[in-house]
Amino acid sequence: MTPPVAAGTIPGDLSQLEAQAADSLSPEALAYIRAGAGDADTTRANAGAFRHWRIKRHRGRKPAEVDLSTTILGTRMPAPVLFAPVGVQTLAHPDGDLASARAAAELGLTYLHSTQGAYPMEEVAAANGDGSRWYQLYWPTDDELAVSFLRRARAAGYTHLVITLDTTLLGWRPIDLDLGYSPFLENKGIANYTSDPVFRRKHMPVPAELAALPAGIAFSGVFQNPGLGWQQLPLVREHWDGPVLLKGIQSPRDAELAVEHAIDGIVVSNHGGRQVDGAIASLDALGPIVQAVGGTMPVLFDSGIRTGRDAFKALALGADAVLVGRPYLYGLALDGQRGTRTVMRRLVDELEEEVRKAGLRSHRALSRSALTRVR
């Protein structure tokens, strides 16, 4: 964690980030980033679930040094914290994912590039440089396009594939719908598609640079893929020789199925509550899934991490690492690349301090006994 923390406009209390960033965002951008499905009850539940756990006070000796480093499926990480795949980051800042990918590289943290990225995966890879990067796939209805995405990702140095399963359709998001706003229909967040030779040849009526809407409509046509199922996995294995993770797992049964299908890892996530309203909190799903998997594959956690304390709790409940999404986007909105870096670094620093206060040298020694359940 070499770069100095820029105090800038990032609030000291990371839970205040959203409120602080709200002023820097257009109503449409704020809506898109904040949006939860339906009444956002799942998004609230995600946050609420963390409040049901308290970190126990440790009265013993505190180590001078804490080592947060870890290795997940062969990827060395200075801390068990990854940049979650986030689409359409230009809504927060013109530099969008390029800035975030640079910030991740500066911190040494792994960056997950979203298929819904605002810049093509090759440009993001260039910005990420020698950094560690994984690729997140929304499986399109056109397998040839999916294979093209995989080939490009491999060529651009993405080492791991994360397939998101919970977004075969876009969730019902009232705050976007009430504004009648969809970034994709104005050619935002579809750069991976419009830069793809297969998409351009087969799906795009006119170049997106000339007319945004037809490109957006063509994108919607290949994006919605509710027919996705386990039977498609062989195609991925055929065209991707690196580790494969499944993102969006909330049921222990699905975690077991992932094991049965020889998947390399899973991400317990409900997409920040953006997909199904009235769903269980992602943190509540974590414990039973960790138990079901029984250490046979790494379990990553996503949905609701706002602070280092939150990360501590997810790790104590059995996650091998956590993904952070909206916070770094708010950092991006407030102060570009520096803002993103500041937020993620502060979160990692907070985590380090919590681990130290718990009397542990490494987060890997964490267990549920570090927490107390409250209602």
Catalytic (active-site) positions: 271
Q: Per rule CB under 8 A, is residue 287 in the interface with other proteins? A: no
Binding piece for other proteins, criterion CB under 8 A, among 33-41, 99-107, 122-130, 333-341: 33-41
Q: Per rule CB under 8 A, is residue 262 in the interface with other proteins? A: no
- Region 10-29 residues binding other proteins, contact defined as CB under 8 A: 26-28
Pick the binder of other proteins from 74, 129, 197, 278 (CB under 8 A): 278
SS3 annotation, 193-247 = HHCCHHHHHHCCCCCCCCCHHHHHHHHHHHHCCCCCCHHHHHHHHHHCCCCEEEE
Q: Per rule CB under 8 A, is residue 172 in the interface with other proteins? A: yes
Nearest Cα to 168, choosing from 139, 199, 190?
A: 139
Q: Per rule CB under 8 A, is residue 245 in the interface with other proteins? A: no
Pick the binder of other proteins from 20, 41, 154, 157 (CB under 8 A): 41
What phi, psi does 163 have (nearest 5°)?
A: -95, 120
Binding piece for other proteins, criterion CB under 8 A, among 252-260, 297-305, 320-328, 348-356: 252-260
Q: Which is nearer to other proteins, 133 or 188 (CB)?
A: 188
Query: Given the structure tokens 């998409």, which residue do they identify?
Result: 199
Q: Which is nearer to other proteins, 256 or 353 (CB)?
A: 256
Q: State the nearest-atom distance from the C-beta of 218 to other proteins, in Å.
A: 6
131-170 mask for other proteins (x: CB under 8 A)?
Answer: ----------------------------------xxxxxx
Q: What is the DSSP string of 166-193?
A: S-SS----HHHHHHT--GGGGT-S-HHH
Q: Which is nearer to other proteins, 97 or 176 (CB)?
A: 176
Alpha carbon of residue 214 to chain centroid: 28
Nearest Cα to 170, choosing from 89, 85, 272, 274?
A: 274
Q: Per rule CB under 8 A, is residue 285 in the interface with other proteins? A: yes
Q: State the nearest-atom distance from the C-beta of 229 to other proteins, in Å.
A: 4
Q: Are 321 and 299 in contact (CB under 8 A)?
A: no
Burial label, 126 (beta-carbon count in 10 A; 0-12, 13-18, 19+): middle
Q: How many residues at the interface with other proteins, by CB under 8 A? A: 63
3-state secondary structure of 56: coil
* Element of type H or E holding 163: strand 161-164
Distance, in Å, from the CA atom of 203 to the CA atom of 182, rounded to the nearest integer, reads 19
Q: Per rule CB under 8 A, is residue 286 in the interface with other proteins? A: no
197-236 mask for other proteins (x: CB under 8 A)?
Answer: ------x--x---xxxxx-xxx-xxx---xxxxxx-----
Distance, in Å, from the CA atom of 167 to the CA atom of 187, rounded to the nearest integer, reads 19
Residue ranges binding other proteins (CB under 8 A): 26-28, 37-39, 41, 45, 165-172, 174-182, 185-186, 203, 206, 210-214, 216-218, 220-222, 226-231, 246, 248-251, 253-254, 257, 270, 275-281, 285
